[in-house]
Structure 1
Amino acid sequence: MDRTLTTATTAKIADAATAGSAHAVGLAEWLTRRAARAPHKPALTCNGITWNYGELIERIERMSAVLAAGGVTPGARVGYLGLNDPMFVVVLFATARIGAICVPLNFRLSGQELAFIIGDAGVHTLVVGEEHIAVIDAVRTDLACHCFIHRGGAVPGWESADALMAGARAERSLPVAVPVRADDVAVIMYTSGTTGHPKGAMLTHGNFWANNLNEMFLWDMVSTDVTLNFAPMFHVGGLLCGSMATLLAGGHLMLQRAFDAEAVLHAVAAHRITVSFAVPAMLLFISQHAAFEAADLSSLRLIAVGGAPMPEPLLRLYGARNIPVHQGYGMTETASMITFLHPDRSSDKLGSSGTPPLMTEIKLIDASGEPVTAPGATGEICVRGANVMPGYWNRPEATQASFTPDGWFRSGDIGYRDAEGFLYVCDRIKDMVISGGENIYPAEVESVLYDHPDIAEVAVIGAPDARWGERVVAVVAPCPGKSITLEGLHAFAEGKLARYKLPKELRIVDALPRNSTGKVLKATLRVHNVATATGSP
């Protein structure tokens, strides 16, 4: 593709800057307006290739023409499966440009898991990285997608995105941009389901806009920032913690295809990275690398951390390198951010997740729904703000259950506030396990393991893990006369569960503890050292 901006593209960018629109919160609209301010400024770098803002907009326009020509209409869903790549950014904004909805897919999932999500979302067009074609081909007969597009050269049965975009001359085939409202859905991000199936959180253009503003005000994002993203962009952390706000601010977003500690250290020094996002496990691996001590990290003005609590020793280690760590608490359903703790308070508010940003508010409620206001008193954390999703895709009952009658989102987490209003998250109502920043719901794992012919009962819980935050533990009561091994569980669940969801530890018991109604007492399992543990952390 010609890397020189066409006259037509430059004119369109300039027109967008002066047109004025009530729909400026739309993803494609604000990016086009931002590009108009400095089209020749670096916007996106990956694998040694850099696009400026004008080049990025031109590719987005061409991809929007490809999608429209393939039958994607406003409201239709476009799936993307692949590692971090500039094409993901192009597909996201091109989909938004024609009023459609992007569905980022977790490349760590098995074919069966992906097929469920693709079917549940009703994906019309699926864009896939070359490294994931095989997993889709294995389940392709189960998919109702109309178009299959891949990132790269000729592959039998697949359209080439590069070839299609090269043929989509923006001057003659560009579809008219579709105006969107703040409450129109921009992205459906799937979260693991508490009942065994994932649910799609509908994030609107307004949700993205609000989260961007939250981050820009909290982190003082400016056009000179260079942000490094190595977290997967199918995840709300990788997509929304810094990446989108960087583009809105007119900064330079650098993508790494996947996390690699050595590559991170090299990139920070070589490109003078100022902002980044990580989960604590990533920061641990970076600190354990042999090059960490000598690495030049002086350009970093902040690292945003989320997905799991930040261990105090790790916080001290980065503090000793004069690297400010912004700790946060967020969820997919809230477009990431709920509260944030500024580095200035990390010592005297150790263990706190901070206070809400500008566009967000929180409250605590008791079991009857009444507000909890006394310092130190615990309650369920509820969230309200322009960053909160309107609900789950095709799940009206789950949506209703997730909101209070007066419109607050129920997080399912238990916390308390101190006298200054700083939030401390102390427990989870839901049994979610957070391992390496990934949300794992026990019901999903249990539903697979219960099919094992030698298992009579199984419960899945989380256990503290020095590297990953938490690890998945399977507590199993075998059938009489049968034996279970961790390796056997892995072999049985292979292909049915993503590898990060597989149990890292197996505990054998005669029977699971239950209450009078038959419910498994998972709190008991967590507290007591039940039987023999096998496997490794």
Structure 2
Amino acid sequence: MNTTPGTTPAALIRAVGEHANGLAVVDGDTRLTFTRLHEYVRDFAAALVARGFRPGDRAAIWSPNTFHWEIAALGVHWAGGVVVPVNTRYTGSEAADIVERVNAAALVVAGEFLGSDRYTQLQQAAPDLAVPTVVRVPLGGNDTPSSDVFDWEDFLALATDDLRAEADARAAAVQPDDVADILFTSGTTGRSKGVLSAHRQTIGVADAWGDCAELSPADNYLIINPFFHSFGYKAGFAAALLKGSTVVPMAVFDTEKVMEIVSRESISVLPGAPTIYQSILDHPRRDEYDMSTLRIAITGAAPVPVALVERMQRELSFDAVLTAYGQTEAVVATMCRTDDDPVTVSNSSGRATAGFEVRIGDKDEILLRGPNVMLGYLDDPEATAATIDADGWLHTGDVGTLDDRGYLAITDRLKDMYISGGFNVYPAEVESALLRVPGVHEVAVIGVPDTRMGEVGRAFVVPLDGHRPTEGDIIAYAKEKLANFKVPRSVRFVDTLPRNPSGKVLKNVLREEKS
């Protein structure tokens, strides 16, 4: 058997050799074989070369799940560059911050989508931001014409045979230790941190995930998890590329649309948050769709009740339901296996995979070590050193236990991070924004239970003397400056914040608030 390729260009070449006429991507009416995907990737890379994009340059992608995203990401790698995914829920200010920090040489951005034009938002937030090459992904909206933006087809048309040859040479020169991507994750300091990973690491976690899910060329993989997240990217289309599976991307989640796609495209692999499966099970029209092809479900980010696992297997025909654990800094560290029973799936996040070692450190913190721990944080050696110790252990900030089989259970978080709708929210970042609201003296944010989102934010605000901002003022400002999943859903005004003798806010006391 062939050894695992060390880079995404090598993975694409192998996929073409083994599955040339197999379907790589199905996106509505667009159906790309691995051969056609390869051709598109070469054209995209050649067009980048035409625009002066150099090996090691960075390209940001701010767009939802469509076939364009995969072509762009693999095309950036083919040209020797680094992919920088941007959260589609970010505001123009948040996206501009990332584009500026990575000094992006190219930007692939969605056209009008869900009523907004992201490139216009970016320009409004950062009028002086200059990106040499901007490519617009056509999504059927009424895109604002712009002389400094390439439409998708016009960009691909820049490719010539000579440029393709140069791009091919660059793809062949990419090494496993070269940086493949920079994924940004909010940090406890209040500013997002860029996580650097090498090609061998992106490939390593994708390959391990594919092994645990038992992906094969027979699988049709519906990817609801966003491509800007490691779940949709590395455990998503990268894993499918390695295993020869067909990717079916979904740009906007809709329960009935999911059921329709599962039925129409014979979907066999369906990862997602537990709420996705619950919404399908409870849908009144579920029986109208044939979902008998479903084989594997992979979930995480929230506890999975045993009863839900059993219903998924009994009523949705899943052969196996798996849970997994990871972070952007490690992607997939533990995962269940297909023969694990429902109780194990519900009560654990599986056992080590992808070459990871797992142990429990001081204060029951989960520590990870292995070849796929991130290279480090972008331009932040101090934060890197604080996260990865001298012995190579990644300090996750999560609290858990290991049983005698090596299965990991997540029991708490050392950090204040909470999960809202499947997205990590770091209160320090929200607090930093809310401190700019006129009349706010101090603020502390916590996550509180919510039946639909799992958790949502609640802000405790100490007003300045003589000022009285309203709850509406606070929330409106947050909506302007932050992605929707970070916006607190409620505000409590208090005279003081509870603190310990060293001045640290006692968020456990705030969590005990009942109203």
- Is the contact between residue 359 and residue 402 of structure 2 (CA under 8 Å) also seen in structure 1? no
Partner in structure 2 of residue 151 of structure 1? 137
Does residue 122 of structure 2 align to residue 136 of structure 1? yes
Helix, strand or coil: the match of 2:460? strand
Give the superposition deviation at 1:365: 1.1
Partner in structure 2 of residue 187 of structure 1? 181
Label 1:410 to 1:58 Cα distance change in 2 as closer, same or farther (>3 A).
same
| Alignment equivalent of 1:468, drawn from 449, 453, 472 | 453
Look up the equivalent residue of 1:114 and give its one-letter code. A
- Is the contact between residue 332 and residue 353 of structure 2 (CA under 8 Å) also seen in structure 1? no
Helix, strand or coil: the match of 1:427? strand
Label 1:101 to 1:293 Cα distance change in 2 as closer, same or farther (>3 A).
same
The aligned length equals 500
Partner in structure 2 of residue 415 of structure 1? 400
C-alpha distance in structure 1 between counterparts of 2:351 and 2:334, whole Å: 8
| Alignment equivalent of 1:266, drawn from 260, 273, 276 | 260
Helix, strand or coil: the match of 1:138? helix
| Alignment equivalent of 1:177, drawn from 164, 170, 180 | 170
| Alignment equivalent of 1:326, drawn from 298, 301, 322 | 322
| Alignment equivalent of 2:299, drawn from 283, 305, 310 | 305
Deviates more, 1:463-472 or 1:429-438: 463-472
Helix, strand or coil: the match of 1:451? coil
C-alpha distance in structure 2 between counterparts of 1:471 and 1:281, whole Å: 15
Task: Give CA deviations for 1:455-475 in whole Å, capped at 9, x if unaligned.
Answer: 232100111222222111112
Look up the equivalent residue of 1:70 and give its one-letter code. R
- Is the contact between residue 70 and residue 147 of structure 1 (CA under 8 Å) also seen in structure 2? yes
Deviates more, 1:381-390 or 1:169-178: 169-178
Task: Give CA deviations for 1:437-470 in whole Å, capped at 9, x if unaligned.
Answer: 1111101100111112232321001112222221
- Is the contact between residue 232 and residue 258 of structure 1 (CA under 8 Å) also seen in structure 2? no
Label 1:247 to 1:487 Cα distance change in 2 as closer, same or farther (>3 A).
same
C-alpha distance in structure 2 between counterparts of 1:452 and 1:498, whole Å: 17
Give the superposition deviation at 1:117: 0.8
C-alpha distance in structure 2 between counterparts of 1:192 and 1:510, whole Å: 29
C-alpha distance in structure 1 between counterparts of 2:276 and 2:260, whole Å: 15
- Is the contact between residue 332 and residue 354 of structure 2 (CA under 8 Å) also seen in structure 1? no
Look up the equivalent residue of 1:95 and give its one-letter code. V
Does residue 157 of structure 2 align to residue 166 of structure 1? yes
C-alpha distance in structure 2 between counterparts of 1:421 and 1:253, whole Å: 32
Does residue 42 of structure 2 align to residue 61 of structure 1? yes
Label 1:128 to 1:197 Cα distance change in 2 as closer, same or farther (>3 A).
same
Superposed, 1:20-419 pairs within 5 Å as 24-131=5-112, 132-152=118-138, 155-170=146-161, 173-175=164-166, 176-178=169-171, 179-321=173-315, 322-323=317-318, 324-340=320-336, 342=338, 344-348=340-344, 350-366=346-362, 379-419=364-404
C-alpha distance in structure 2 between counterparts of 1:257 and 1:501, whole Å: 20
Look up the equivalent residue of 1:357 and give its one-letter code. T
Q: Where in structure 1 do 4 or more consecutive aligned residues deviate above 6 Å?
A: none
Look up the equivalent residue of 1:478 and give its one-letter code. P
Helix, strand or coil: the match of 2:64? coil
Helix, strand or coil: the match of 1:507? strand
Q: For structure 1, which runs of at least 5 residues remain unmatched after alignment?
A: 1-16, 368-378
Give the superposition deviation at 1:348: 4.9
C-alpha distance in structure 2 between counterparts of 1:195 and 1:266, whole Å: 43
C-alpha distance in structure 2 between counterparts of 1:358 and 1:78, whole Å: 27
C-alpha distance in structure 2 between counterparts of 1:341 and 1:478, whole Å: 51
Helix, strand or coil: the match of 2:396? strand
- Is the contact between residue 83 and residue 257 of structure 1 (CA under 8 Å) also seen in structure 2? yes
Does residue 441 of structure 2 align to residue 456 of structure 1? yes
- Is the contact between residue 196 and residue 376 of structure 2 (CA under 8 Å) also seen in structure 1? yes
Task: Give CA deviations for 1:149-174 in whole Å, capped at 9, x if unaligned.
Answer: 21248643212231121241346643
- Is the contact between residue 87 and residue 151 of structure 1 (CA under 8 Å) also seen in structure 2? yes
Partner in structure 2 of residue 438 of structure 1? 423
Deviates more, 1:121-130 or 1:412-421: 412-421
Helix, strand or coil: the match of 1:223? coil
C-alpha distance in structure 2 between counterparts of 1:426 and 1:311, whole Å: 15
Give the superposition deviation at 1:302: 0.8
C-alpha distance in structure 1 between counterparts of 2:287 and 2:493, whole Å: 42
Look up the equivalent residue of 1:347 and give its one-letter code. V
Give the superposition deviation at 1:82: 0.8
Label 1:301 to 1:173 Cα distance change in 2 as closer, same or farther (>3 A).
closer
- Is the contact between residue 61 and residue 170 of structure 1 (CA under 8 Å) also seen in structure 2? no
Partner in structure 1 of residue 115 of structure 2? none
- Is the contact between residue 62 and residue 174 of structure 1 (CA under 8 Å) also seen in structure 2? no
How much is the aligned-residue C-alpha RMSD, in angstroms? 2.2
Helix, strand or coil: the match of 2:200? helix
Give the superposition deviation at 1:224: 0.8
Partner in structure 1 of residue 507 of structure 2? 522
Partner in structure 2 of residue 376 of structure 1? none
- Is the contact between residue 106 and residue 133 of structure 2 (CA under 8 Å) also seen in structure 1? yes
Give the superposition deviation at 1:349: 6.1
C-alpha distance in structure 1 between counterparts of 2:490 and 2:339, whole Å: 35
C-alpha distance in structure 1 between counterparts of 2:447 and 2:341, whole Å: 29
Label 1:435 to 1:207 Cα distance change in 2 as closer, same or farther (>3 A).
same
Q: For structure 2, which runs of at least 5 residues remain unmatched after alignment?
A: 113-117
- Is the contact between residue 324 and residue 332 of structure 2 (CA under 8 Å) also seen in structure 1? no
Superposed, 1:500-511 pairs within 5 Å as 500-511=485-496
Label 1:192 to 1:428 Cα distance change in 2 as closer, same or farther (>3 A).
same
Give the superposition deviation at 1:418: 2.2
Percent pairwise identity: 33
